[in-house]
Each structure stands twice: as structure tokens, then as C-alpha cells.
Amino acid sequence: MKAILFPGQGAQFRGMGKDLFSHYRALTEQASDILGYSIEKLCVDDAEGKLRMTQYTQPALYVVNAMGFYRRRDEGLDPPAYLAGHSLGEYNALLAAEAFDFETGLRLVKRRGELMGAARNGGMAAVIGIDELRLAELLRDNRLDAIDMANFNTLGQIVIAGPQQEIQRAEQILTAHKIRCAVLNVSGAFHSRCMKDAQLAFGDFVSGHAFGSLRIPVIANVSARPYEDGAVADTLARQIASSVRWCDSIRYLMGAGCKEFVEIGGTVLTRMVDEIRRTATPLKVHEEQAAAAAVTPAAAAPAAPAAPAKLTPHTLGSALFRQRYGIRHSYVSGAMYRGIAAPALVVRMGKAGMLGYFGTGGLSLAEIEKGILYIQGELRQGEAYGLNLLANYAYPELEREVVELYLRHRVRFVEAAAFMTITPALAIFRLQGLQRDADGKIGNGRRIMAKVSRPEVAEAFMSPAPDHIVRQLLADGRITAQEAELGRLVPISEDVCVEADSGGHTDGGIPTVLFPAMLKLREVLQAKHGYAEPICMGLAGGIGTPEAAAAAFMMGADFILTGSINQCTVEAGTSDDVKALLQDINVQDTEYAPAGDMFETGARVQVLKKGVFFPTRANKLFSLYSHYNTLDEIPEKTRKQIETKYFKKTFAQVWDETRSYYESKGLRHEVVKAEANPKHKMALVFRWYFGYSSRLALSGEQEERVNYQVHTGPALGAFNQWVKGTALESWAHRHADEIGHRLLADTAEYLNRSIARWTEAA
């Protein structure tokens, strides 16, 4: 059995293709027209020395490789059983397999070369005579965490990539250990995390192209397994920032029964293959799969050995969830209060085929309405968007006013947060307008995504609206008899997001404990109520890395929801000073503090600890509230400390301001209650600090930075470590949609690697 191999960047030389251009004159002219320069002069003469530049190298190699293949084919070369290419060479393998035509491939390669050629300040080095485990240990021990293993060429030849300074340091360290390390003459850290921006940009470009079914199996660099039909675009995009698993690719072909390897246009890969065959064992390929490939004529397109279907960013999670919301990815950005999850963030997510929720908590009705109008003005093509709805047990009339605003503006998607029970406002949003369509499905076009962290709350949302609320709404004329009847057949929420330990309000749940219990509860309730449609269940809290997202999907999450990592983006509606603080935190830099909106109950929020005093001061206030019954009982020394350092105002001044606020909002009864109950007055005075500290953070008053209240969780710290050394290290380069795309792409890649490892070990 035979495999044809195509070399990649590094195999170019002046004069290459000299004997091919005249033979394939039509292709030569077509290539020159597409590229805008003479491909023949570039390859043969290279008078300006451009052939070594990535944006020129890659198209040149693609053209010469293609012509070399066509000549071998025209000379009667037998069709191979498999095709493979090293990095850029993979495009020629796909061309030979008829995934695309010559022109399409060249346009793809041209764009790829431009994007990779634009990378700067990166470097690569070839490391000889050391295995992967030992090299990884040396890099780790010397804190060379920004370096990735880019090419696994043979068992003893690995190319590393990363920032130039780190590559130079690695060369010194490896040389000191008597390990051969040669720095390569390249401008970028190809096939490493440094290429994520290029990967994302190329992903957008390649997604606009159609690809045919492969007539011959092609081994993918990123997986060392055959391409799956339908995954060409995603795999090519991933290849840019993923390792080239060349050694394992050849081992796979050896295991599939390949005895002959034919390299087009050079000998670089042939030498690698010879070394791999001497030093490495074949990878396991099921015997009947290899036999089937051996006896099937290549012209009849032999079936590739069966391998686990490759996951892509588009296939993670639930197709039903994506269909319900009209989105391309099972990825949601959650609401962050006071407009931190800003309209601009929601719009960016919607245009990227994902779902974002506007953080309306703490905003006035006028501010919410302004945000709705902006979002609706920007998303005119049916893109998905949603708004947050916070529980308001103290002032239920305000909660109902928000719902009525949503209904007036035909808001379809709501994220319900901080609810402990179902309220009339929630029921109105869910029940009004319910009807059966022609297929018998019940709905009104609106959906409530419930964020829950306790089983009893989850049960309430996964159950129909409570009878007593339905009867009251019916009696009040808020719903019709038909709506009431249909409401008994559907849950309040068909989409539930389980929230583990997170930024802001949190019960500190452990996802691996909480989520399986919620899945079991869903199973029980669906069976009990016999719902026509299944409930989709997602996971939030602690998701800031591919490993965390992979764990969520492996546990069965239909979607994932991120929060803290989006607060440190260009679109987030908080101050630049807060973003600068957040981009540098690690996983240990958060703390629990009392929640200002539920201060008296002892509810907690998770907040930023590094660089601020807020959590210490907030916990001090709650301790004082717990030990004393009136403000007057607080010791004078403590009182002065709070007034001068925390509040910058006296208790009396704070109370005057608080009283004026409640009276202006038509909440005079709160003032009356406080003046009659000193304990309640103390709570309101202390709660003032929580609003004050939030305003300081949102406005970025740096002279009062120690008092910033910033809701965030350790997921952001983990995210910061993941993107360290890449363009995303700075918040100024972070965009919520790009984070989502990158997280999903790397999650799919991580899961595919894991599945391949498990399969090999089986």
C-alpha cells in the first residue's frame, strides 16, 4: 500500500519548479493572475529574495507541489491509498484528494500565508536528540511556559515555537544541557498558541468556501488521523495554531499497512519517514480496516479506517439548543450587573452566531430601554440576543415593570437570575401568548433561561408555573383560560443553566458534584411531567479554559455559559482601570464578601481581592451588623475608621443621601421602616457602601481604587494564565466573541486529542 506525501515550508529553494512551469503553462498563468505577480519568476529567479518570506513561500510551494503531483500522475503514477502533507503540504494532499480545485486551494493558501506572514516577534527552533516527555520537563522546570511544541517531526526531532526572547532563552538552556537546538529563520511562532489570531481570522475566511468529499483519505496534521467529511474548513483553521503531528501521522499510515511512501518535490519528508520507520512502532489500526483499505482500488475512493468522529466548535453541545436560539455555537455570555455585560458585547456575540445577555440588573427602566433599542437597531438579521431579569423580592412591582418593558419591545430571550421561587412576573413572561402551532408544539416565541445553583430552585423552573400563580393571573385578566391550560403542559424554563462557583452571587457549588445531580433531577421531572420537548441543561461557573469547557461538555452540558472572562474585554461596560486590574489576576486573587442587595441575609458574592480592600471592608460591615443593633452601639474608634476610610462621609450624611434616594424612587415606606427600626437603618446605611463601591469601579476613580467592588471569579485567573504570552494577554485585544470562538476551538482540539489518546490505549 502506498502513501503520497507533500512537503511544507522549509522545502523551498531558488530554481524550484523550473522544469514544470513551461509544461503547465495554463496553471502558471492562472496562479500569477490570482497572486498578482509572476509565480515563475518568484520560484526560478527570486531576484528580490522574497521566496523566504511566508506570504510568498506558501503559495509558491503549493503551486510547485501541485504541478509535481500532476506530472507524476500524468506519467502513470498509481493512485495512492493515502495522502498526507506537512503543514502547508496538507493543502496539496487535499487538492489531490479533490476536496477543492487548484484555484480554490491557491486562494486559501494565499490568505493563510498573508495571515501567518503578518505574525511578528515569534520564533521557532529545532530540538534534536530528545524525546517529548524530557523536553516538556525541561521547559516546565525552566519556566518556559510560553513555548509550545509545534512540530513532532520524528521521535527525536521536535520543533518548538513561542516568543522570540523565550526561544533564545530555550536555546541557551538546552545547549547547556548538551542538547542540540537550532533557531530557525522564521518571523512567527507557527503552529503555536501565538497563531490564535491568525487561526480565528483564517477560520472566518475558510468558512465561506465549499469542500467536496475526499476521494482518497488524507491524514490531518492536527489529529494524525484521516479527515472527516464536513470537517475540512474547521481542521484547516485549527492547523495554523495546532501542533503538526507528523511522526504520529506516519505511524498511523504504517499501522494502516503502508509500505511505500512517495514524496513529491523533495527528500525532506522521505528522510523523516526513514527515521520514523527505524525508531517508531506503528499505531494501532483495526485489522479489518487496514485490510479493507488494501483491497479497495484507489480510483473507487477507499474508505478511510474508521476513527472517532472529530469534534468541531460547531458540534460541541446540543443541536437542539442551537436550533432553539438560532445560533451556530452552544456558547452563551452571561449577564453581568449594571450593564457590565453591555449592549455592545451582546451585539458582538449575536453577530458571531452566539448568544449574549445584556446585564440589566441595577439599571433604570430608561437605561434598559436605551440598551434594548441599541441592540435591536444593530441586530436586524434575526441574530440572537437576550436580557437579564433579576429577582426583586423586596420590590416585586419593579420586577413586573421590567417584564412589561420586555414584552412591549418583544424581547424573546430572558436570563432569570437570583430567583428562589417562581414569581408572577416570570409566569407572565412565560404564559402570555402561549398557543399550539400546526405541529402541536406549545410556545409563544419567548424563552426563559434559568440560572440555578440549588436543586429546589431548579425543580421550580423545570416544573409548570405554580397553580396558585396561574389562578391569580387568570383572575386578574393577565392571561387567558387557554394560556392557563397550556401553561400546565410546559415548564417555566426549557433551558436551565447550572451555576457552580462563580463571580458575583454564588453558592460556591462544585461543578462535578452539582451538575450530575441536576441532570438526574431533569430526568426525573421530564418523566414526571411528560414534556413534549426535552429540557436543555448547561453549565456556568469556573469556565475560563479549554480544559474546563471540555469537562462541562463531557459531563453532558448542552451549552456552556461564561461570565468573568467577558468582564475583561473591550466591549465590557466597566472602567479601563478595572480591566487593567483584572487582566493580571491569578486563580487565588478573589474573595467572598456580603452581597449588597441581600446584605441582611448573609448572601455572598465573589469579588476581586488583589489590589483592593473591598472584601475586607465589606466583611467588616457585615460583622458589625451581626454584633450590634444600632449604629450608635458601634465603638467610636471603629465608627471613625468607617466614616473616614470606607465611606468618606459620616453615618448621618450617608443616611440623608439614602433617605433622599428612597423617597425619589417612591419608596417612602422604607424610610419609615428604617426610622422605626434602628437595625434596618443600619442595614441601609451599610448597603450604601456597596452601591458606592460599585460606582467607583464602573467609573474608574483610581484615587479610590481600594474601595472598588468588582464581581469576578477564579475562572478569569485561569483564563489569564491560558492566554499568557499571546495577543490576548492584554485586555485591549480581548473581544467577547473571539474569546468564545477560541475557547470552543481549543476545547474541541483538546477533546479530540484526549479521545485519540484513549483510543490508542484501548
Active-site residue list: 87, 191
Q: What is the CA 100 to chain-centroid distance, rounded?
A: 29
Q: What does the CA dihedral 711, 453, 355, 564 come to, rounded to 10 degrees? A: 20
**CB contact burial 239-248 (16+ within 10 A = b; e otherwise):** bbbbbbbbbb
Q: What is the DSSP code (8-state) at residue 214?
A: P
Indicate the residue type of 513.
V
**Are the CB atoms for 182 and 274 separated by under 8 Å?**
no
Convert 493-541 into a string of H (helix), E (strand) and C (coil): CCEEEEECCCCEECCCCCHHHHHHHHHHHHHHHHHHHCCCCCCEEEEEC
Cα torsion angle, 325, 328, 332, 337, sign: negative
- Based on the number of CB atoms within 10 Å of its own CB, is 613 exposed (0-12), middle (13-18) or buried (19 or more)? middle
End-to-end CA distance of the chain: 25
**Are the CB atoms for 182 and 153 separated by under 8 Å?**
no
Backbone angles phi, psi at 714, to 5 degrees: -65, -15
Sheet holding 148-154, edge to edge: 148-154, 157-163, 122-128, 180-183
Distance (Å, rounded) from C-alpha 365 to C-alpha 7? 62
Q: Which of 385, 378, 461 is nearest to 427 (CA)?
A: 461
**Are the CB atoms for 285 and 236 separated by under 8 Å?**
no
**Are the CB atoms for 99 and 214 separated by under 8 Å?**
yes
Q: What is the DSSP code (8-state) at residue 707?
A: G
Q: How many residues does the chain have?
A: 762
**Inter-axis angle of helices 102-117 and 196-206, to 10 degrees?**
150
Distance (Å, rounded) from C-alpha 81 to C-alpha 252? 13
Give the DSSP H/E element, type plus range, for residue 435. Answer: strand 435-436
Indicate the residue type of 203.
G
Q: Which of 399, 336, 408, 338 is nearest to 369 (CA)?
A: 408
User: For residue 442, what are the β-bridge partners?
Assistant: 436
**Are the CB atoms for 193 and 187 separated by under 8 Å?**
no
Give the CA distances from residue 4 to residues 253, 266, 308, 492, in Å, rounded to whole numbers and listed in that order: 11, 12, 24, 58
**Are the CB atoms for 217 and 302 separated by under 8 Å?**
yes
- Which triple of cell numbers denotes residue 4? 503520497
